[in-house]
Amino acid sequence: MIIAVDGPTASGKGTIARALAAHFGLPHLDTGLLYRAVGRQVAQNGGDPDSPADALAACGFPDSLLDDPELRSEASGGLASRVSVHPAVRRALYERQRAFATQPGGAVLDGRDIGTVIAPEAAVKLFVVASVPARAERRFLEMQQAGRPVSLAEISADLEARDLRDRTRAEAPLLAAPDAVLLDTSDLGKEAAIATAIRLAQARLG
Ligand code: C5P
């Protein structure tokens, strides 16, 4: 049983994916972290995230990097969005995600292209969206709690830039699979969003 949860940044897809994994007793992979790790590794190498060669060279990042809290920063998200446009980077990260998705018993993965590229056969596909103001507000509160001072205007601008890059890139753009269920969390609190996602997943699973 594969559950694919796709959507833009701060749409609530990560929270929903973790809750679905706990509810159905499945392992969960946040695939954005892989792209964030590549982005950070490029920076640590002194490379250019817009260079396909520099980005590909960073795909061999050590697993320990995935635990670095810095991966959650806005800067890492921006770097991830830049390295993720390179087809060679997407290919380099494909097998790891595919192996996770197809492990015996099933899995929950969240990202941008899980339902379209990584696991098109997923039993459940959710495409989670929310308005830019709702997402910016959430990210702002998260950053405040994490002690990272960023203005709401900066966050909105960053979200819009990343959305544009993710939606318009040539390879694996952010796109709802034709058989995905749309879940708009703009007006939903965390618990309501989770309850709705579980209901939708259960309906899909029959
Ligand atoms: O989900 P998160 O905000 O952590 O993702 C960071 C960036 O990584 C996204 O903006 C996107 O460009 C990229 N990404 C991707 N494909 C995925 C997951 C993330 O291209 N499956």
- CATH assignment of the domain containing 149: 3.40.50.300
CB of 77 within 6 A of ligand 1: the answer is: yes
CB of 80 within 6 A of ligand 1: the answer is: yes
Task: Enumerate residues 6+ apart whose C-beta is below 8 A from 77.
Answer: 9, 32, 36, 158, 162
Q: How many domains does the chain have?
A: 1
pLDDT for position 168: 92
pLDDT band at 83 (very low <50, low <70, confident <90, very high): very high
Its domain, for residue 186, covers 2-205
Q: Which protein residue's CA is at the shortest distance from atom 2 of ligand 1?
A: 32
Spatial distance between the Cα atoms of 31 and 97, rounded to a whole number of angstroms: 7
The answer to whether residues 177 and 116 touch, using CB atoms and an 8 Å cutoff, is yes
Q: Which protein residue's CA is at the shortest distance from atom 10 of ligand 1?
A: 81
Pairing of strands 28-30, 181-184: unpaired
The answer to whether residues 76 and 36 touch, using CB atoms and an 8 Å cutoff, is yes
pLDDT for position 61: 97
Note the pLDDT tens digit of each residue in 23-79. Answer: 999 999 999 999 999 999 999 999 999 999 999 999 999 999 999 999 988 899 999
